Amino acid sequence: MRRNNAVKNIKKNDEIKVISGKDNGKVGKVLQVLNDKKIIVEKINMIKRHMKRSQTFQGGIVDKPAAIDISNVALLCPSCKEITRVDKSKVINGERVRSCKKCREIIDKA
C-alpha cells in the first residue's frame, strides 16, 4: 500500500500556497493538520455554517475554514518566498531539520 509522506512535510503555522482547486493561488497559514491527509488553512476553503443560538453565541450564519487535501497545497519557503519541496537532512549534531530544496535554507527542526 502506498503512503503519502506529504503529511510529515507540512506542520502547524507553516505558510502554504494552494496549487489546485477553487482557491488556487491563495496563500495562508496552517491552523491544524488532520490525520487523514487533510489540513485546515486560515481563510482558505471557507464554508458557511448556520449556527444555533446559545447562551454564549448569538446565532446566525458563520464562515468557517474547511479541510483541504494536503496534495492541493505546497509549502512556501520563508526565505525565498517560492513554493518548494521539503528536504529532511541531518545536521552535524544529529538533529534532523527541514530545508528548502531550492535555496537550501533551513526552515526548522523536523
What are the pLDDT digits (tens) for 67-84? 999 999 999 999 999 999
Sign of CA dihedral 39, 41, 45, 47: positive
For the chain, percent of residues with pLDDT exceeding 70: 92
Is residue 17's pLDDT more than 60? yes
pTM: 0.83
The residues, any chain, with a CB within 8 Å of residue 76's CB and separated by 6 or more, are: 14, 15, 16, 17, 27, 82, 83, 84
- List every span in the chain annotated with CATH 2.30.30.30: 1-52+61-76
What pLDDT was estimated at residue 53?
Answer: 96
What is the CATH code for 1-52+61-76? 2.30.30.30
Is residue 2's pLDDT more than 70? no
> Which residue, among 55, 45, 40, 56, has the nearest Cα to 22 in the 3D structure?
45
Is residue 50's pLDDT more than 80? yes
Grid coordinates representing 74 are 505546497
